[in-house]
């Protein structure tokens, strides 16, 4: 048995320090931040499956970083498609960082923003000079990695075991655009003082990504920079695998949903729950097809219970399915039942009322096997088009 | 040697008659049409790959139709997800049709419109009563299959061989929404009096679909009803395989581009030309990923030469690609050259000017092999969101 206690602002895992500053990368606003641990951490990482991985990811892999005590993060510039220079810029910046703070070991850099422009190195170096490694400002760090995000995404839990010993876990993320269903699709940093072995870190991070970051979609695109980092400095000396797994799942699931809620132009958080699929993989394929369909997403924006588009999208996703086995519900309102169309004016109105909510679930049972998956998506609005048509460098 | 002569209105292949009427399925407008040949035709067909094929497709397959002289088409109702009743409704309507016109053999039905509502059988039967099988009104037929289309899509060629003998080919299509890159993705009817053998019909229809209907995308969705039919009554007695292949390609390519141009809310017709891919399949994967990317499509709407999104989308498509081999151009303006970013303010402005055009091509060379493919897509506009958010039955 264990307890999960949500923590207030700036109650961080032991030994961790965070802050964000305004380094002038953005016209105004926080754009450069750090995570620092005063003792060395194991690190586990998940990266985008995009073939064009950004320079920070290449840098991480080049140095095969296993232990670190520092993450330098910036927004506004993704340092992607910047070739060798992108990596050299990182090395130059991190050398400078180490020359300023001699207790930093194997620092990691993480970037988000515009693709294809060189890093503004001098601004970043200047920003580094003003870092205070004694600061614990979770909010400023969360702000420093935001791009088109409209709110900060962060969460902390104290995890108390039966014997009252405890550890702490904190997660911070950014999302908004280019959120897609194939891996990380955003920046996410999770820090903990749990005494977790490295192999459990790798295992639990990968496992919990599946139902969280891999289950969400804003626009079906996949960034060059998607990164999830888990850092543990073991300082609590406490660990319980089951409890940590549970807490990590809560952190990742919460942050993933916050990202969808803050999807560019999105007003609604919609669950796409597939059951009865041939297997879990097929359920995932169908659920993500729904979360990615422009026609389904515009119907959600229009609050139109257009179950025909839902059916058509499942049929187009190539999973095994049959007209006379499929059921479709908007929450508990059944509109299509194994070949029978229950979509009277009254039912349509009930389903429409459900779609007026900020959050709801569309449930489809394929009636074949035990496979199930729940994906999360949002509506496709005028605002999405506006944000992305006018996003110039 | 052969000549392709574009034909004016209502100059149809010998022995074919077409018309469209207002049967009251739409509040106003043409909604029921026919294609009739006074001698029997061979028929070749391509259908959607959606698992939920609509009743007209199931009916065609159930009766394994090889020869016919009549196609009955309607808009407003897709007769999809309508189960057994959907097929029974078609059989009932076609029995009625045959009882009214005793020279009709193996009629085919084809439908487009809302999914999941039963066919308005009585309206259709009443409409059939007013058919005049001597009419040759190509325009009315083209109108009768339109849904959110804003203009008619039709084209006719007389194909003259070296010895001055000739045959005629006519194509009519509808598109607008749910146009996607995996097969037909619309209704298209092609009629000819060429004396083409059945095996050539099957071969050439499939071959030419690849670079036409399979190369276009409006929104990445795939309909339950997509159908391409080719009917030949052999009445000209004339045939030349090379000439027919060329003419069919022209007809299909023209109609496919008309469909993209009339994509819901679309203002721009954009070619996505991939060369230097590992093979043609990989080129197709990358080209279609670009045509389907919401971020690329909104950038096109915003006339923003956001080459970073182009690169990121190619990288996300999982094809083999390398930063230091890729080149990206907007028409002839090179913006990214094998790792080198050429995107100065001046180049950006030039690329922006190209994107202001109604039609342009984005060209990417992967620098790996000989694979190439050109896909066609359009922008994602406010209008697309509006049309699809407000499309209620």
Distance CA A139, CA A143 (A): 6
Mean pLDDT, rounded, for A201-228: 82
Percent of chain B whose pLDDT exceeds 90 = 68
Residue A390's nearest CA partner among B194, B215, B85, B303 is B303
> Which range, A282-291, A384-393, B361-370, has the best average confidence (pLDDT)?
B361-370
Mean pLDDT, rounded, for A295-320: 90
**Residues A385, B382: C-beta atoms closer than 8 Å:** yes
Mean pLDDT, rounded, for A56-67: 96
Mean pLDDT, rounded, for B153-171: 95
Average pLDDT, chain B: 90
Please list every residue in chain B whose beta carbon sits closer than 8 Å to the beta carbon of residue A341.
Answer: 81-82, 116-118
With CA atoms as reference, the chain A residue closest to B181 would be A316
What are the pLDDT digits (tens) for B65-117?
999 999 999 999 999 989 999 999 999 999 999 999 999 999 999 999 888 88
**Residues B385, A340: C-beta atoms closer than 8 Å:** no
Q: In 3-state terms, what secondary structure has residue A9? A: coil
**Residues A315, B51: C-beta atoms closer than 8 Å:** yes
pLDDT(B182) > 70: no
Which amino acids of A are annotated catalytic?
Answer: 185
pLDDT score recorded for residue A178: 47
- Confirm or reject contact between B114 and chain A (CB < 8 A): yes
**Residues B312, A392: C-beta atoms closer than 8 Å:** no
**Residues B302, A388: C-beta atoms closer than 8 Å:** yes
pLDDT(A220) > 70: no
pLDDT score recorded for residue A184: 32
Phi, psi of B70 (to 5 degrees): -155, 135
Distance in Å, alpha carbon of B82 to nearest chain A alpha carbon: 7
When CB atoms are compared, the residue of A219, A295, A316 closest to B295 is A219
Higher pLDDT: B215 or A207? It is A207
pLDDT score recorded for residue A218: 56
Say if residues A199 and A244 touch (Cβ distance below 8 Å): no
Interface test with B, best of A87, A119, A181, A298 (most B CBs within 10 A): A298
Distance CA B268, CA B290 (A): 14
Residue A195's nearest CA partner among A163, A162, A241 is A241
Q: Which of B185, B192, B224, B313 is catalytic?
A: B185
As a dihedral over the C-alpha atoms of residue A4, residue A8, residue A9, residue A11, rounded to 10 degrees, the angle is -60
**Residues A316, B386: C-beta atoms closer than 8 Å:** no
Distance in Å, alpha carbon of B94 to nearest chain A alpha carbon: 23
The single residue listed with the structure tokens 């703070």 is: A101
Q: Which pTM does this prediction carry?
A: 0.81
Query: Would you give the end-to-end CA distance of chain A in angstroms?
Result: 51
Please list every residue in chain B whose beta carbon sits closer than 8 Å to the beta carbon of residue A186.
Answer: none
- Confirm or reject contact between A10 and chain B (CB < 8 A): no
Bridge pairing between strands A327-330 and A359-365: antiparallel
Distances (CA, A) of B116 to A4, A136, A300, B217, B390: 46, 57, 18, 24, 17
Distance CA A300, CA A109 (A): 38
Higher pLDDT: A214 or B64? It is B64
As a dihedral over the C-alpha atoms of residue A341, residue A342, residue A348, residue A351, rounded to 10 degrees, the angle is -110
**pLDDT band with cut points at 50, 70 and 90 for residue A183:** very low
Query: Would you give the end-to-end CA distance of chain B in angstroms?
Result: 51
With CA atoms as reference, the chain A residue closest to B381 would be A385
Which residues, numbered 62 to 101 in chain A, qualify as contacts with chain B under a Cβ-Cβ cut-off of 8 Å? 78, 80-84
Q: In 3-state terms, what secondary structure has residue A161? A: strand
- Confirm or reject contact between B221 and chain A (CB < 8 A): yes
How open is the CA angle B217-B222-B226, to the nearest 5 degrees? 100
pLDDT(B391) > 80: no
Distances (CA, A) of B362 to B291, B328, B355: 10, 7, 9
Say if residues A34 and A153 touch (Cβ distance below 8 Å): no
Say if residues A16 and A193 touch (Cβ distance below 8 Å): yes
- For chain B, list the domains and their CATH numbers: 2-261 (3.60.70.12), 269-389 (3.10.20.340)
When CB atoms are compared, the residue of A80, A177, A301 closest to B308 is A80
Phi, psi of B334 (to 5 degrees): -75, 125
Q: Which two tokens stand for residue B341?
A: 């970013």
CB atoms within 10 A of CB B95: 11
Residue A341's nearest CA partner among B225, B82, B87 is B82
When CB atoms are compared, the residue of B316, B340, B390 closest to A221 is B316
Average pLDDT, chain A: 90
Residues whose CB is less than 8 angstroms from the CB of residue B59 and which lie 6 or more positions away in sequence, other chains included: B87, B90, B91, B109
Distance in Å, alpha carbon of B200 to nearest chain A alpha carbon: 29
Which residues, numbered 264 to 323 in chain B, qualify as contacts with chain A under a Cβ-Cβ cut-off of 8 Å? 292-295, 298-299, 301-302, 304, 306-309, 311-316, 318-321, 323
- Confirm or reject contact between A342 and chain B (CB < 8 A): no
Distance CA A274, CA B272 (A): 34
**pLDDT band with cut points at 50, 70 and 90 for residue A309:** confident
How open is the CA angle A324-A330-A331, to the nearest 5 degrees? 115
Q: In 3-state terms, what secondary structure has residue A43? A: strand
How large is the ipTM? 0.76
Q: Which two tokens stand for residue B108?
A: 């085919």
Which burial class, exposed, middle or buried, applies to A344 when counting CB atoms under 10 A from its CB (0-12, 13-18, 19+)?
A: exposed
- Confirm or reject contact between A114 and chain B (CB < 8 A): yes
With CA atoms as reference, the chain B residue closest to A317 would be B50
Distance CA A179, CA A297 (A): 14
When CB atoms are compared, the residue of B298, B320, B391 closest to A389 is B298
pLDDT score recorded for residue A324: 92
- Confirm or reject contact between A367 and chain B (CB < 8 A): no
When CB atoms are compared, the residue of B221, B304, B308 closest to A313 is B221
What are the pLDDT digits (tens) for B216-226?
865 555 678 88
Which residues, numbered 234 to 263 in chain A, qualify as contacts with chain B under a Cβ-Cβ cut-off of 8 Å? none
Distances (CA, A) of B187 to A184, A192, B207: 39, 57, 18
- Confirm or reject contact between B165 and chain A (CB < 8 A): no
Asked about B313 being catalytic, the answer comes back as: no
Distances (CA, A) of A176 to A152, A312, A378, B249: 11, 27, 11, 43
- Residue A115 has what DSSP assignment? S
Residues whose CB is less than 8 angstroms from the CB of residue A366 and which lie 6 or more positions away in sequence, other chains included: A274, A275, A276, A277, A278, A282, A283, A286, A314, A319, A320, A321, A322, A325, A326
Bridge partner residues of A157 (DSSP): A6, A169
Residue A164: in which H helix or E strand, if any? none
HEC profile for chain B? CEEEEECCCCCCCCCEEEEEECCCCCCCCCCEEEEEEEEEEEEEEEECCCCCCCHHHHHHHHCCCCEEEEEEEECCECCCCCHHHHHHHHHHHHHHHHHHCCCCCCCEEEEECECCCCCCHHHHHHHHHCCCCCCECHHHHHHHCCCCCCCCEEEEEEEEECCCCEEEEEEEEECCCCCCCCCCCCEEEEEECCCCCHHHHHHHHHHHHHCCHHHECCCCCCCCCCEEEEEECCCCCCCCHHHHHHHHHHHHHHHHHHHHHCCCCCCCEEEEEEEEECCHHHHHHHHHHHHHCHHHHHHHHCCCCCHHHHHHHHHHCCCCCCCCCCEEEECCEEEEECCEECCCHHHHHHHHHHHCCCEEEEEEECCCCCEEEEEEEECCCHHHHHHHHCCCC
pLDDT(A81) > 60: yes
Interface test with A, best of B48, B282, B389 (most A CBs within 10 A): B389
pLDDT(B275) > 60: yes
Please list every residue in chain A whose beta carbon sits closer than 8 Å to the beta carbon of residue B304.
Answer: 389-392
A&B contacts, CB < 8 Å: 204
Mean pLDDT, rounded, for B252-276: 88
Axis-axis angle for helices A294-301, A307-316 (nearest 10)? 160
Distance CA B252, CA B157 (A): 12
Mean pLDDT, rounded, for A246-260: 92
What are the pLDDT digits (tens) for B137-150?
999 999 999 988 88
Please list every residue in chain A whose beta carbon sits closer than 8 Å to the beta carbon of residue B386.
Answer: 382
Mean pLDDT, rounded, for B322-343: 93
Q: Which two tokens stand for residue B224?
A: 């339950």
When CB atoms are compared, the residue of B52, B308, B384 closest to A312 is B52
Say if residues B12 and B191 touch (Cβ distance below 8 Å): yes
What are the pLDDT digits (tens) for B110-125?
999 888 889 999 999 9
What are the pLDDT digits (tens) for B293-304?
888 888 898 899
pLDDT(B180) > 50: no
Say if residues B377 and B270 touch (Cβ distance below 8 Å): yes
Please list every residue in chain A whose beta carbon sits closer than 8 Å to the beta carbon of residue B220.
Answer: 220, 292-294
Residues whose CB is less than 8 angstroms from the CB of residue B199 and which lie 6 or more positions away in sequence, other chains included: none
When CB atoms are compared, the residue of A224, A340, A386 closest to B312 is A224
Residues whose CB is less than 8 angstroms from the CB of residue A360 and which lie 6 or more positions away in sequence, other chains included: A268, A270, A271, A330, A331, A354
**pLDDT band with cut points at 50, 70 and 90 for residue B64:** very high
When CB atoms are compared, the residue of B80, B313, B391 closest to A221 is B313
Q: Which two tokens stand for residue B207?
A: 């071959």
**Residues A302, B389: C-beta atoms closer than 8 Å:** yes
Say if residues B287 and B377 touch (Cβ distance below 8 Å): no
Q: Which two tokens stand for residue B293?
A: 């990317």
- Confirm or reject contact between B116 and chain A (CB < 8 A): yes
Mean pLDDT, rounded, for B330-335: 96
With CA atoms as reference, the chain A residue closest to B324 would be A83
Distance in Å, alpha carbon of A367 to nearest chain B alpha carbon: 15
**Residues A316, B221: C-beta atoms closer than 8 Å:** yes
Distance CA A233, CA A38 (A): 9
Distance CA A277, CA A366 (A): 5
Distance in Å, alpha carbon of B303 to nearest chain A alpha carbon: 8
Which burial class, exposed, middle or buried, applies to A133 when counting CB atoms under 10 A from its CB (0-12, 13-18, 19+)?
A: middle
pLDDT score recorded for residue B185: 45
- Confirm or reject contact between A224 and chain B (CB < 8 A): yes
Distance CA B200, CA B188 (A): 18
Mean pLDDT, rounded, for A107-132: 94
Of B172-181, B268-277, B378-387, the range with the lowest mean pLDDT is B172-181
**pLDDT band with cut points at 50, 70 and 90 for residue B181:** very low
When CB atoms are compared, the residue of B219, B320, B380 closest to A385 is B380
What are the pLDDT digits (tens) for B344-365?
899 999 999 999 999 999 999 9
pLDDT score recorded for residue B24: 97
Mean pLDDT, rounded, for A325-354: 94
């Amino acid at each position: 048995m264990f307890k999960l206690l949500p923590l207030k602002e700036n109650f961080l895992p032991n030994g961790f320090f965070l802050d964000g500053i305004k380094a002038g990368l953005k016209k105004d606003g926080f754009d450069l931040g750090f995570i620092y641990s005063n003792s060395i951490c194991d690190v586990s990482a998940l990266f985008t499956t995009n073939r064009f991985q950004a320079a920070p990811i290449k840098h991480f892999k080049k140095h095969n970083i296993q232990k670190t005590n520092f993450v330098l993060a910036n927004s506004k510039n993704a340092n992607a498609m910047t070739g060798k220079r992108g990596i050299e810029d990182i090395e130059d910046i991190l050398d400078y960082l180490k020359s300023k703070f001699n207790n930093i070991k194997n620092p990691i850099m993480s970037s988000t923003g515009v693709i294809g422009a060189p890093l503004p190195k001098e601004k970043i170096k200047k920003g580094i000079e003003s870092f205070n490694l004694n600061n614990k400002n979770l909010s400023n760090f969360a702000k420093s990695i935001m791009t088109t995000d409209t709110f900060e995404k962060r969460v902390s839990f104290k995890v108390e075991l039966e014997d009252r010993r405890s550890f702490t876990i904190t997660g911070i993320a950014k999302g908004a655009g280019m959120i897609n269903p194939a891996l990380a699709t955003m920046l996410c940093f999770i820090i903990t003082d749990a005494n977790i072995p490295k192999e459990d870190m790798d295992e639990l991070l990968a496992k919990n990504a599946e139902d969280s970051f891999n289950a969400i979609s804003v626009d079906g695109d996949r960034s060059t920079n998607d990164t999830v980092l888990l850092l543990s400095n073991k300082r609590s000396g406490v660990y319980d695998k089951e409890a940590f797994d549970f807490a990590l799942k809560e952190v990742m699931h919460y942050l993933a949903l916050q990202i969808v809620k803050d999807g560019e132009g999105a007003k609604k958080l919609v669950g796409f729950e597939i059951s009865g699929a041939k297997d879990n993989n097929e359920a995932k394929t169908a659920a993500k097809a729904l979360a990615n369909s422009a026609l389904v997403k515009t119907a959600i924006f229009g609050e139109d219970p257009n179950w025909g588009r839902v059916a058509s999208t499942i049929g187009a996703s190539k999973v095994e399915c049959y007209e006379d086995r499929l059921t479709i519900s908007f929450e508990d309102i059944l509109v299509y039942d194994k070949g029978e169309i229950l979509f009277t004016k009254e039912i349509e109105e009930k389903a429409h009322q459900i779609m007026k909510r900020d959050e709801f679930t569309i449930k489809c049972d394929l009636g074949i096997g035990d496979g199930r998956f729940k994906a999360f998506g949002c509506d496709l609005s005028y605002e999405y088009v506006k944000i992305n048509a006018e996003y110039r460098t």
